[in-house]
Amino acid sequence: MPVTVNPVEGDPVQPLAFLGASPEPAVVVDADGHVVYANPNACRLLAYDAQDALVGQPVKAILPDLAMPLTEPAIAEQTAVRRGGWPLPAEVAIIPVVDQAAAILVVRDLTDRKRAATAESRLALVVRSSHEAIIAWTLDGVITDWNPAATELYGHRAEEVIGRRTRELVPAHRQAEEQEILAKIGRGEVIARHHTVRHRADGSPIKVSISVLPITDDSGEIVGGASISRAVTSNELAEAKIVGLLEAAPDAIVAIDASGRIVLANAETTRMLGYPRDELIGQPVEILIPDELRTRHVEFRTRYIDDPVNRPMGIGGQQLMAQRKDGSRFPADISLSSMETDEGLLVAAAIRDATERLAEQAEHDRLKAVAEAERICRNLSLKYHRSVIFAGKLSFRRERWYQRLLHNETAFAVQRRLQLEGIPMTVLPVRLT
């Protein structure tokens, strides 16, 4: 609307001095099309050092496309010209001033708006052209955007699903998973390459790999989420099965690259060795080896990578040791295997805690020795009388008692009695004549 002011005699611009405090860049143009006033923000926007440098200039010098006369209110996008001839995208609002034959021009810089619009258009083009299904939705799960690839993947046209809820695409047995995804997005979390199942328009299930990230407004507040999904290939399904097997394996399994750095660790590795997975990835494998053996292990590792062969780790039956994050150690059985990949050689080490195995082996060896001793004693008892030489001190009566006992029981039984009483002795066989 035109502005009405009361002129002050001798100073027709004086009533417009309030523009100096305006946050908007503003200039005042007289009926002849010359600038008679420019506020500080206008001077800064147009790169003039002071108002005096701009006052008196033809308005066409800064707004060459401006249509004269300026008698009607209008808003239009134009190209302003900054000092030095630099173009500036601008929005110009024309506000005629009644009774002063002048007009106020509010010049707004559109650079950021144009840049944002360009970025938005480019993003929209990328979304439309993407071969992956891209879907946007509110925090309540209401679908707001649906690209052509989503139509190709799921069979629904955009107009059929916009305004509906994402849960309508999710099978019944996956509804709890969908609610968890929405909750994570609301907390600002990102979900990467999650394998799941969705429904097509015809009701058939489809296995997809989906990545989800939150959408924020200009203030940074989370207002929704966007998902990028694609059908899972047969190779990816096979890979997922392998990963599932690794995660379910009872042994700790780590894979290293040719430089000796860990690139994969399964769940049992984190449990057995006490390291979170993200702390292990990228670390040299020597982090899992006792400190004093690490330097030597680098030599062994380098030698193995030069000639990788599937085999148990260790030399000459030597018992290996592993070291946990807290510094504690345990005996370990380790098997090595290798494979060539697109990224180069990978070496896998399967680590098993040998504590129970060694304890069972020790008990087995002990029982075997006892059984062998009993067998020998039984064989001797058929051919020999026995006498006993006592290494400890016994009374004469006690010693004679044990000697008589020896004739009625096996030597091994007597020996066990003496051992229980803590009396060292030796059984000497004497052949019957």
CATH code of the domain containing 308: 3.30.450.20
Q: What is the pLDDT of residue 407?
A: 52
| Mean pLDDT of the region 193-205 | 89
SS3 101: coil
DSSP structure class, residue 168: G
Q: How far apart are CA 2 and CA 98, in angstroms?
A: 6
User: Given this model, what pLDDT does residue 27 score?
Assistant: 92
Least confident of 150-154, 241-245, 385-389: 385-389
- Whole-number pLDDT of residue 218: 81
Rounded Cα gap, residues 196 and 20, in angstroms: 61
Asked if residue 358 belongs to a domain, the reply is no
Buried/exposed 92-115: b ≥16 CB within 10 Å, e otherwise: bebbbbeebebbbbbbbbbeeeee
Q: Are 256 and 347 in contact (CB under 8 A)?
A: yes
Q: Taking the complete model, does pTM exceed 0.85, yes or no? A: no
Helix ranges (DSSP H) in 102-233: 111-129, 148-154, 158-161, 175-186
- pLDDT higher than threshold 60 for residue 223: yes
Query: Is residue 61 a part of any domain in this protein?
Result: yes
* Cβ atoms of residues 78 and 92 within 8 Å: yes
| Residues 125 and 227 grouped into a single domain | yes
364 part of a folded domain: no
- Whether residues 96 and 120 share a domain: the answer is no
User: What gap in Å lies between CA 89 and CA 108, rounded to an integer?
Assistant: 9
C-alpha distances (whole Å) from 167 to each of 142, 164, 197 are: 9, 9, 12
Q: Which two tokens stand for residue 341?
A: 């990949």
Q: Which residue has the higher pLDDT, 69 or 237?
A: 69
Contacts (Cβ under 8 Å, ≥6 apart) of 345: 257, 258, 305, 308, 338, 339
- Give per-residue pLDDT as tens, 295-315: 889 988 888 888 888 888 876
> Binning pLDDT at 50, 70 and 90, where does residue 329 land?
very high
Which of the listed residues 64, 79, 109 is the one where a domain comes to its end? 109
Shared domain for 334 and 262, answered yes or no, is: yes
- What was the pLDDT predicted at 371? 78
Q: Which residues contact 55 (CB under 8 A, 6 or more apart)?
A: 35, 36, 37, 38
What's the pLDDT band for 368 if we cut at 50, 70, 90? confident
Residue 242 lies in a domain: no
Higher pLDDT, 47 or 240: 47
Same-domain pairing of 105 and 208: no
Quick one: pLDDT at residue 422? 56
DSSP state of 55: T
315 domain-assigned? yes
Percent share of the chain, pLDDT over 70: 80
Q: What pLDDT digit, counting tens, does each position of 381-418 carry?
A: 544 444 444 444 445 555 555 555 555 555 556 556 65
Helices (H), 30-81: 40-45, 51-54
In a domain, 363, yes or no: no
Q: What is the mean pLDDT of residues 406-432?
A: 53
164 and 80 in a common domain: no
- Write out the two tokens for 256: 């290293």
Cα–Cα dist 82/54, whole Å: 11
Look up the domain containing 83 and give its range: 3-109
287 pLDDT tier (thresholds 50, 70, 90): very high
In a domain, 294, yes or no: yes
Q: Where among 232, 263, 292 does a domain terminate?
A: 232
Q: Quick check: 36 and 72 in contact, CB under 8 A?
A: no
Statement: residue 55 has pLDDT above 80:
yes
Alpha-carbon distance of 164 to 363, in angstroms, equals 67
285 and 324 inside one domain: yes
Percent helix, strand, coil in the chain, to 5, is 40, 30, 30
When pLDDT is averaged across residues 326-345 and rounded to a whole number, the result is 88
The tokens describing 425, both together, are 């002795």
Quickly count: other Cβ atoms within 10 Å of residue 279's Cβ: 14
pLDDT at 134 over 80: yes
* 50 and 83 both lie in a single domain: yes
What's the structural domain count of the chain? 4
Q: What is the pLDDT of residues 259-286, one digit of tens each?
A: 999 998 999 999 999 999 889 999 999 9
Residue 143 shares a structural domain with residue 202: yes
Residues 417/420/424/427 CA torsion (nearest 10 deg): 30
Question: Rounded mean pLDDT of the chain?
Answer: 82
The two tokens of residue 199 are: 């429904």
Statement: residue 423 has pLDDT above 60: no
Q: By the 8 A CB rule, do 97 and 63 touch?
A: no
Q: Is residue 259 part of a domain?
A: yes
Q: Which of 293, 321, 353 is the last residue of a domain?
A: 353
Average confidence (pLDDT) over 288-292? 92
